[in-house]
Amino acid sequence: MSTAKKLRRLHAAQRQLETNARIVEHDKRHLRSAYGEECQMTGRRRHASCLALRASINDRVSKLEQHFIDPDGVPGHEWYKHALIGPGPWTDASFQAFPGLAAALDTGDKGIVRQREKSIADIIYEAAWFLREV
C-alpha cells in the first residue's frame, strides 16, 4: 500500500477544507448577486446585512492563513511554523509541501509519520471549521 493511500486522515482534512472553502465562495457569490459590489442600497437593514456578510467573508479569508501555524514547527527547522509549506529537508533555499510530514517520512518511522499526519490534519481541520464559524 502506498504512503499516499495511508494518509487518509490528511486527505479527509483536505476535503473538509475544500468543502468549507466552497461555502465561502458561495457566500461571496451571494453577496455580489444580492447586494452588488459596494453594498450601496437605500434600506438600512439591507445595507447592514450586506456589510455584515462582507465583513464575515473578509474576516474568514484574511485570517485563514493564521490557522496553518504548527506550534511545534517543522522538525529540523523548528523556527518555521507553517504546516503546509516550508523549507525543504536539505536546504533552506528550497520549499516543500507539508514539510513536517516530509521530514517524518524521511525518518521511515511509522509512529512519527502518523503523529505528524495527525498534527497536520488537525491544523487543516481547525482551518476548515474556522471558515464555517465566522
* pLDDT (average), residues 105-122: 92
> What is the rounded distance in angstroms from the CA atom of residue 37 to the CA atom of residue 105?
47
Confidence label for 77 from pLDDT (cuts 50, 70 and 90): confident
Q: What is the mean pLDDT of residues 86-114?
A: 82
pLDDT of 4 strictly over 90: no
Query: Closest by alpha carbon to 104, among 15, 12, 6, 13?
Result: 6
What are the start-end ranges of the E strands in 8-101? Answer: 85-87, 95-97
How many percent of the chain have pLDDT more than 90?
51
Selected residue with higher pLDDT from 3 and 85:
85
**Residues whose CB falls within 8 Å of the CB of residue 16, separated by 6 or more in sequence, listed in order:** 124, 125, 128, 129
Strand partners, 69: 82
Q: What percentage of the chain has pLDDT greater than the value 70?
A: 90
**Site of grid cell 467573508:** 57
Name, in order, each residue with C-beta under 8 angstroms of 84's C-beta and a sequence gap of 6 or more. Answer: 68, 97, 98, 124
pLDDT band at 1 (very low <50, low <70, confident <90, very high): very low
Q: Is the dihedral of CA 102, 103, 104, 107 positive or negative?
A: positive
74 has a pLDDT exceeding 90 = no
Per-residue pLDDT of 5-14, as tens digits, reads 689 999 999 9
Give pLDDT tens digits for 28-69: 999 888 888 788 777 888 888 899 999 999 999 999 999 999
Residue type, 127: A
* Predicted confidence (pLDDT) at residue 85 exceeds the cutoff of 80: yes
